[in-house]
Amino acid sequence: MVRTIAVALGLALLAAPAFAEPGPAEGAGIYQARCAMCHASGLANAPLPDKLATLENDKIIEALTNPVPMMAGAVGGMSEQDKRDVAVFLTKKTMPAKGDLPEVKAE
Ligand code: HEC
């Protein structure tokens, strides 16, 4: 019994960081929640993910930092880390560490 609880606790501890870890997996969730409603279908000429994939990470971060009016509502409140995660998810290009922000490795 005690051992079962210990194993369950151990699994919970192992599982937790996987969700908190910054990176493209986190970016995928952000894309689904905040971007796909326009970019997956090309609504109002939003570039499709294939097109976004050809951009540089910095260009995506720039578009999220100074968004076109249509995008402003969707990207409000995103942290720098969120922007980096979603950029790497879209471009599949690794971003080097910058200041306090860790490297975001493309998967
Ligand atoms: C409400 C719809 C909408 C949402 C939500 C949205 N976008 Fe956009 N986005 C657009 C439209 C429309 C454009 C094209 C603007 C233009 O060129 O005039 C655009 C342009 C961009 C561009 C610039 C592309 C280029 O070639 O310069 C990037 C990068 C981008 N979006 C990324 C994102 C990301 C990442 C998210 C989610 C965090 C997001 N967008 C959410 C509608 C949206």
Whole-number Å distance between alpha carbons of 90 and 60: 9
Residues 6 or more apart in contact with residue 37 via CB below 8 angstroms: 43, 74
Give the pocket of ligand 1 (CB within 6 Å): 34-35, 37-39, 43-47, 52, 55, 60, 63-64, 68, 70-71, 74-75, 86
What are the tens digits of pLDDT across the range 34-77?
999 999 999 999 999 999 999 999 999 999 999 999 999 999 99
What does the pLDDT read at residue 56?
98
* Å from CA of 3 to ligand 1 middle: 51
What does the pLDDT read at residue 16?
43
pLDDT confidence tier of residue 20, bands split at 50, 70 and 90 = low
Which residue among 26, 30, 37, 39 has the greatest number of ligand 1 atoms within 8 angstroms of its CB, and so is best to mutate?
39
